[in-house]
């Protein structure tokens, strides 16, 4: 849950490769539960969707009438985002001090340097503003999904006690869990694997092997009839923290 452990240069490079699969990402990656988006929107005001990518969270926030600016280092992904987009990173946010009321980081905290990004987020948030960190992951508490995640090299591990470390600029982190599922076919699951960082940074022969292993899994180990759709269970893990009025009181 804490994200991949890799050197900063590798984290930065892999975190910018998702635009190459933007169409597939939009088609097969799940959105976020309505109840969670409503809770985020309730914090209102001017919103920075940080590491916003193609806009899986940006869109429902805009639909709820919020003013959103999207920041991401990947221009290909950002081009698909419906909000006003600015190139930038969590470690260097191109916004003024205290300029937003709400920051969201969806599906991306593990690609950021947590210490530097938390400080930057605290800088652009007004005192009393709110940070939401959101992560969809496969529900690996379910045996067949755990096996699937391993074949995909998804890296999804449920650690219920994990919290992001945000430093002195923020108060207590509140955690929330929303369970949901999405209907998918085997081809969709192969496409889903193709949006994962392991796939995107792997050579062609590795990708072919992962696809073959997935199709074999659903043909033999966990059989799914041709054309059948199954419900793929997810957990949406979210973490909310408020920017302290006096950072020194943390």
pLDDT of residue 249: 41
pLDDT of residue 247: 53
16-25, 34-43, 83-92: least confidently modelled range: 16-25
pLDDT of residue 196: 86
Looking at the chain, which runs of residues are DSSP E strands?
A: 46-50, 67-72, 84-87, 100-106, 125-138, 174-184, 230-242
How far from each other are the two terminal CA atoms of the chain, in whole angstroms? Answer: 25
Tens of pLDDT, residue by residue over 93-127, are: 999 999 999 999 999 999 999 999 999 999 999 99
Task: Judge whether 40 and 102 are in contact, CB under 8 Å.
Answer: yes
Does 1 have pLDDT greater than 70? no
Task: Judge whether 247 and 193 are in contact, CB under 8 Å.
Answer: no
Q: CATH number of the domain at 8-137+155-179+231-245, out of 3.40.50.150, 3.30.50.10, 3.30.450.20, 2.30.40.10? A: 3.40.50.150
Of all residues in the chain, what percent carry a pLDDT higher than 70? Answer: 90
Quote the mean pLDDT of the chain: 90
Burial 41-53 (b: 16+ CB within 10 A, else e): bebeeebbbbbbb
**pTM beyond 0.85:** yes
Does 135 have pLDDT greater than 70? yes
Q: How confident is the model at residue 21 (pLDDT cuts 50, 70, 90)?
A: low
Domain boundaries, the chain: 8-137+155-179+231-245
pLDDT of residue 5: 41
Beta bridge partners of 89: 92
Which tokens go with 218? 């659903």
Tens of pLDDT, residue by residue over 190-222, are: 999 998 888 989 999 999 999 999 999 999 999
Tens of pLDDT, residue by residue over 142-179, are: 999 999 999 999 889 999 999 999 999 999 999 999 99
């Amino acid at each position: 849950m804490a994200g991949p452990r890799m050197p900063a240069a590798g984290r930065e490079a892999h975190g910018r490769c998702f635009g190459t699969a933007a169409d597939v990402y939009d088609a097969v990656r799940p959105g976020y539960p309505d109840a969670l988006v409503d809770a985020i929107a309730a914090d209102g005001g001017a919103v920075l969707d940080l590491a916003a990518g193609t806009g899986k969270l940006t869109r429902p926030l805009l639909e709820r009438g919020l003013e959103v600016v999207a920041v991401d280092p990947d221009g290909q992904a950002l081009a698909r985002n419906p909000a006003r987009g600015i190139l930038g990173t969590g470690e260097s946010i191109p916004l003024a001090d205290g300029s937003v009321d709400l920051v969201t980081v969806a599906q991306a905290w593990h690609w950021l340097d947590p210490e530097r990004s938390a400080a930057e987020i605290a800088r652009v948030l007004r005192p009393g503003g709110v940070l939401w960190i959101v992560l969809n992951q496969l529900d690996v508490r379910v045996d067949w999904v755990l096996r699937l995640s391993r074949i995909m090299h998804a890296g999804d591990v449920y650690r219920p006690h994990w919290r992001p470390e945000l430093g002195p600029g923020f108060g207590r982190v509140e955690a929330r869990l929303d369970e949901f599922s999405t209907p998918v076919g085997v081809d969709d699951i192969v496409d889903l694997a193709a949006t994962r960082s392991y796939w995107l940074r792997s050579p062609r022969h590795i990708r072919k092997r992962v696809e073959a292993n997935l199709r074999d899994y659903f043909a033999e180990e966990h059989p799914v009839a041709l054309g059948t759709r199954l419900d793929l269970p997810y957990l949406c893990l979210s973490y909310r923290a408020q920017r302290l009025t006096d950072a020194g009181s943390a």
